[in-house]
Chain A
Amino acid sequence: MLAIPDSWAQDLTTFPSDLSMPYTLTPGRAAGTFVAEVKNRRIVGSRFASGTVVVPAQDFCPNTGDSDPELVEAPHTGTLNGFTQTDAGIIALIRIDGSDVDMTHRILGTALDGLKVGQRVEAVWGDGEGILAIEGFRIAANAPQGEIRPLEAPAKPVEQIPYRLDLHYEHAFGPYYGRLFDEIKTNRRIMGVRTSDGEGALLPPREIDDITHKPTGTWVELKQTGTVRAMSVIHLEFIGQTQPPPYIYAEIMLDGASTRLIHNVGGIDMSRAKELVKPGTRVRAVWREGERTGSLADISHFEVIDGEE
């Protein structure tokens, strides 16, 4: 029995996967007030019972863990405590006058070789959202030392901030997934590997048998018919869904396979879905017409085989 695949994909390199996830983030009282006030061109900080001042405002003291700070108005001036050049410009650690911690922001209008730790800086206001309402800080050699003051008539904290994570991945196929999807794309064959004892076939194919921890066996083409092992009828709509409901989520054991394949059972009257498709229902793969993608989506769906149990 071979311990390595007898051939593998030459062309499939990586599988692109894009996730685009929407969020509504809750900043809490201190940061929410900072966000609300920064567009009024006021910089809000927190003063804790211990006397520690944190700019921008935070709900919890980094030194003591104290909560419920007094919100204060911070000056627009400070001192450069560190800096670095990035593709997005010069990013600096800025100690706002009266604060006990640094804040991170951009430096505008001065090249890297004009900067020195200890230089005085002042805020440059812009039109961005959140902390980017401060466009950045510029060198201001004669900026007077500012002071922390009580925050008069603070705005109501912003409670929710829309946010989105756009994540792009390139997953490596590797030899097993590579051959599986190459065969699906090129030959419309579904390939598994034999279990280490040769009794069944594992799908998706893999190098090591999960039960015995021994190398799996040779490649084997699986039948394109199988049995529904478990199914549900999807009516739920959700963000990121790849097809409109209703449809059938099914876990199918292909004939000759020892593991399940997740796909949809289709081609039926969906209003009778729960009678027509059950655990034990026999199904057959229906290939998608048109462009082949080299993924499970090249199978359009599984159709019910009439008259078989």
Chain B
Amino acid sequence: MARHVGIVGVGQTHHARRRTDVSQAGLVREAVDRALADAKLTIEDIDSVIVATGPVLFAAVNQPEKWVADAIGARLKPVVRVTSGGGTGLAGALTGYYQIAGGFAERVLVVAYDKLSEGALQYSISTLYDPFWGREFAVGIMGFSAAYWRARMDVLGHTEEAAAMVGVKNRKNAMKNPYAHVKKEITVEEVLNSRPLAWPIKLLDVPPISDGAAAVVLSSEKAAAQSTDRPAWIRGMGYFCEADNAAQRSMLVSEPLALAARRIYRAAGITNPRRQFDVVEVQEPYTCFELSYYESLGLCAPGEAAELISSGATQMDGDIPVNPSGGCAGANPIGAAGLIRLIEGAAQVMGKAGDIQIPNAKLALVQSGGGWANLRGVAVLSA
């Protein structure tokens, strides 16, 4: 029987477009120091360290877990690096979760980061494509994401206006998030009139490129009390994949996300996600993805996402607030983004989300994903 695992400490950097004052190692250290302080622990209390980063071409340091080892206290401890594209942060947390749930560690430090200011982002992402098949036509992940949003418009009604509302909501929420660095409210008209980058994706549908790091301390039930009397308990966490180029792959509803949600909801006793969850954090690389996730996560039926956003239900004061943190719209250090979503969900159920606290949040849903929409994961957290 798997053991209970809780999040007992969280930390993130004040994310920025470009941090020239610290190296990648220094950036990670800031998040680690904050997470350990939050958990009232020192690095001596940590049994195992997970390092999660995006593709190494983002920042030109191969095998970065070696480079940051001194900074994160990994010396003479078990260390593994996990990478899984944009969902790396959640995949890193999942690795730590397994270690504790399986009884192999009491406390695990999970660190995730990317310093995207250092490299050529879309070019790096284009190298994720098969060199024989499509790379020469790749536009990072933006061309692809925009293309399937265009397809969802016709079938599911994910209009440009609906996506713009997601951007307006998330930018507004980011205003109160002390760690976000994009702090400017926008209007639906401004989104619609912003410069097309990969139409239908326009400039204001796109998150920033960020330097940032995040860290969490995961703990067994036995060891948790030393850190907090109110951990964020992980009720379920999973990360699922679909074949990249298989026959008849549907890109309209995210099949791996729907699968992950179904499995994890069952484990966590969720039968009506819209009613049961108090708060949701999703990793929305572009505004259009948040609409798709509403449907894949079962917050509404396929084809109802535009109605859900325009109803106001996913606003801070709605019945199912999505991204009180502002999501990726406020900061998007890709490798860290999934772990940041987990941190924001955990902070809500731990009651320490500050200005972005949803009152009495007891049950949080967290989504993350990466790798060409192939890889999607969810976590359910409870007070």
User: Which A residues lie at the B interface, using CB under 8 A?
Assistant: 15, 17, 19, 21-29, 31, 58-63, 65, 67, 159-160, 163, 165, 169, 171, 173, 177, 181, 195, 200, 202, 204, 209-211, 229-236, 238-242, 249-251, 258-264, 273-274, 278-280, 295-297
Contact = CB atoms under 8 A, between A and B. Distances in A.
Contacts of A60: 25-26, 29, 70-71
Contact of A22 (B120, B145, B248): B120
B132 A249 contact: no
Interface of B: 19-26, 29, 43, 57, 59-60, 70-73, 75, 115, 117-124, 126-127, 129-140, 142-151, 154, 195-201, 243-249, 251
B146 A249 contact: yes
Nearest to A250: B147
Given A62-B75, A251-B147, A258-B248, A171 B122 contact: no
Contacts of B71: 59-60, 65, 67
A296 B199 CA distance: 24
B300 to A, nearest CB: 22
Contact of A25 (B19, B21, B60, B127): B60
8 contacts: A28-B21, A60-B71, A62-B75, A173-B132, A234-B139, A249-B143, A251-B148, A278-B150
B122 A231 contact: no
Contacts of B146: 232-233, 249
A297 B137 CA distance: 9
Contact of B123 (A195, A200, A240, A261): A240
B247 A65 contact: no
Given A24-B118, A232-B198, A263 B137 contact: yes
Contacts of A17: 131, 135
A202 B29 CA distance: 47
B134 A296 contact: yes
Contact of A249 (B72, B137, B246): B137
A71 B29 CA distance: 19
A36 B247 CA distance: 56
Contacts, number: 200
Contacts of B246: 210-211, 259
A296 B137 contact: yes
Top 3 closest A-B pairs, CB basis? A240-B123, A28-B23, A232-B146
Contacts of A295: 132, 136
A38 to B, nearest CB: 17
B133 A296 contact: yes
Contact of B150 (A19, A23, A169, A231): A231
Given A23-B118, A238-B123, A296-B134, A233 B196 contact: yes
B154 A235 contact: no
B136 to A, nearest CB: 5
Among B29, B119, B124, the one with the most A-chain Cβ atoms within 10 Å of its Cβ is: B119
A195 B145 CA distance: 27
Contacts of B149: 232
A297 B138 CA distance: 13
A242 B136 CA distance: 7
A173 B197 CA distance: 34
A239 B147 CA distance: 21
A83 B70 CA distance: 25
Contact of A239 (B115, B122, B148): B122
